[in-house]
Amino acid sequence: MSARVVAPARLHFGFVNLSPARERLYGALGVSLDGFRTSVEATPADRVECSDPEARRYAERAVSHLKVPGATVRVENSPPRHVGLGSGTQLALATLVAVGAAYGERPAARRLAPNLGRGGRSGVGVAAFEGGGFVLDAGHPTGRFTAEPPARGEWTVPPIVSRHEIPDDWRFVLALPDADPGRSGADEDDAMRRTVEDADPAVADEIARTVVHRVLPAVAEGDARAFGAAVSEIGRLNGAWYADAQGGIYRPPVGTIVEALADDPAVDGAGQSSWGPATYAITTADRAERALDAARRALDKAGVDGRVEAVAGCNEGAQVERKHGA
């Protein structure tokens, strides 16, 4: 039997708190996307075989945790990695579930994600894999997750405190500039450590007010304009924490792109997803073409080439297909 898992990408709007002076650390907001999907196929084997180095590492861990002999794993599709679309978490969980499904099992992605090194700070990627939609997670108790996080596997994925369906007419215009990938691995850990050590708790208080009084009402009411303005503010406030680590409120050349998008009447809000360089603009289906044009002009203004695309939100999690006799 073979199994195929298709998982959605996600946007990460930022964290609620990065200061150890508050009771909970992190707490992330994001949405799942109906585009840039990760697709992984697995079949039982006597050992692990995979040509993709990153997926191979996840397959080896999956085989170990599931106590199966091995698997032949093939990455059919994967969005650009380390650009802010959550490809790492989706690849890890898709590989885990594909290997399990090839053996007739459905591994608990949330429970096993820490063993794959995922869900340590943000729970948005795991939540996107599970069920899509807009999600806000609770973060971690500050006593356990300070500037130095626990070792891999010694945490639980943050629980979801709010999930909402993304309205059908909302669109997320993505501008992916041809720029260096965002931070990942040890480089990301070092940057986060420095950021947490220096984070101003007053910024967290402002973000909390924005989440409660603006973001959550806007998504509950399906108000794209209010939602776009609110998550843009979340991104800007997060950028105040990251300014030293990334060279400004947004990493270059994202700042120029965000500024150009935010000035366009077809756009309700714009920002940087995670460490970038993926840049998002929030709009509606009837204005999506104009927002795409705005994204192209924004790339031109920044003096970079890149890819632009408009996608809807995704309100379902990863899909699993099993094929007998393969």
Based on the number of CB atoms within 10 Å of its own CB, is 224 exposed (0-12), middle (13-18) or buried (19 or more)?
A: buried
| Average of per-residue pLDDT across 8-23 | 97
174-207 pLDDT, tens digit each: 999 999 877 777 788 888 889 999 999 999 999 9
The whole-number pLDDT of residue 325 equals 63
Torsion of CA 91, 92, 96, 101, to 10 degrees: -20
Give domain 2-323's CATH number out of 3.40.50.150, 3.20.20.70, 3.30.230.120, 3.60.15.10: 3.30.230.120
Q: Which residues of 243-257 are buried (b: 16+ CB within 10 A; e: fewer)?
A: eebbeebbbbbbbbb
**What are the residue ranges of helices labelled H in 247-318?**
254-262, 288-302
Predicted TM-score (pTM) of the model is: 0.95
How does residue 149 score in pLDDT terms, banded at 50, 70 and 90? confident
239-273 pLDDT, tens digit each: 999 999 899 999 999 999 999 999 999 999 999 99
Asked whether 317 and 133 are in contact (CB, 8 A), the reply is: no
